[in-house]
């Protein structure tokens, strides 16, 4: 049976996250229902990184094994037609056939996130639920300097949700850049994998540095403490975007 890779974009505000759950509207459930409307039997789709309630995606990747030999462009267009008709805030940007060995989660070698902060007095009329509005001025340069102090392989217990189910708090943070772009500040994070709430926890703590409440070195001190109580306030989900996933070239070779 053919396996397909789906590149997916979604506005996360209406959903209780990616993962299927009882009593909650989720991205996974919506796409699986649309696949059912194509005459396929019930299936489970596997994504590269499960997102929380309210978190968005520009380049989520999932795989699914189907029973019919779909043309990839036909599969993409059919899914989008049903998603639109059913009022879902989801779009399938690409569909491609991949080998049976491809796994959207396990084959991934790097995941990328972007966090958007709107840093001005007035809130946004057009980007509500799409950015974190912070009215007080933030020092993006100080935030960036603080972020560089926690790059590398560390125990990220401080920036890990208490409900995180990962076997180990050790992760290798490859990138954490803070960039000022007009009225917005973007935080770009890359790693092979992240802990639950890790990006939002780091962003919330960096905001403390940006406000001057923490010195630049406090970010590394909080990390080294390996104590969740040392984390700053967790940033809201509104500004977080699952940006992209990297795979080795051979993962797509049929």
pLDDT tens-digit map of 158-180: 999 988 989 999 999 999 999 99
3-107 matches 110-244 in fold: yes
Q: Taking the domains of the chain in order of start, what are their residue ranges?
A: 3-107, 110-244
Q: For the chain, give the mean pLDDT.
A: 97
pTM attached to this predicted model: 0.96
Q: Would you state the structure tokens that stand for residue 72, as one six-digit string?
A: 């990839």
Distance CA 191, CA 80 (A): 30
The predicted model gives 220-247 an average pLDDT of 98
For 123-142, how does the pLDDT look when each residue is reduced to its tens digit (9 = 90+)? 999 999 999 999 999 999 99
Q: Is the pLDDT of residue 22 over 90?
A: no
> What per-residue confidence (pLDDT) applies to 251?
87
CB proximity list for 152: less than 8 A, separation 6 or greater: 172, 173
- Reply yes or no on domain 110-244 having CATH 3.30.70.660: yes
3-107: CATH topology is Alpha-Beta Plaits (3.30.70)
The pLDDT tens digits of the residues spanning 96-133 come to 999 999 999 999 999 999 999 999 999 999 999 999 99
Closest by alpha carbon to 199, among 154, 242, 148? Answer: 242
Q: Copy the structure tokens of residue 19.
A: 């993962």
Residues belonging to the active site: 52
The pLDDT tens digits for 168-213 are: 999 999 999 999 999 999 999 999 999 999 999 999 999 999 999 9
């Amino acid at each position: 049976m053919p396996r397909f890779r789906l590149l997916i974009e979604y506005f996360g505000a209406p959903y209780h996250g990616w993962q299927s759950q009882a009593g909650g509207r989720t991205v996974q459930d919506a796409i699986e229902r649309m696949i059912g409307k194509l005459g396929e039997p019930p299936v489970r789709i596997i994504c590269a990184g499960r997102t929380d309630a309210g978190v968005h995606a520009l380049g989520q990747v999932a795989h699914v094994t189907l029973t019919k030999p779909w043309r990839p462009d036909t599969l993409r267009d059919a899914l989008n037609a049903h998603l639109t008709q059913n009022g879902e805030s989801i779009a399938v940007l690409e569909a491609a056939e991949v080998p049976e060995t491809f796994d959207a989660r396990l084959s991934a070698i790097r995941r990328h996130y972007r966090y958007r902060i709107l840093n001005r007095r007035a809130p946004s009329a057009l980007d509500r639920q799409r950015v974190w509005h912070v009215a007080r001025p933030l020092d993006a340069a100080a935030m960036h300097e603080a972020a560089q102090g926690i790059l590398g392989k560390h125990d990220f217990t401080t920036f890990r949700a208490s409900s995180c189910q990962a076997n180990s708090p050790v992760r290798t943070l490859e990138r954490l850049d803070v960039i000022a772009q007009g009225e917005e500040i973007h935080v770009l994070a890359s790693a092979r994998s992240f802990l639950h709430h890790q990006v939002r926890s780091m962003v919330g703590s960096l905001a403390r540095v940006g406000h001057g409440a923490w010195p630049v070195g406090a970010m590394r001190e909080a990390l080294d403490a390996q104590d969740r109580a040392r984390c700053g306030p967790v940033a809201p989900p509104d500004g977080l975007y699952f940006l992209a996933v990297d795979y080795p070239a051979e993962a797509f070779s049929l």
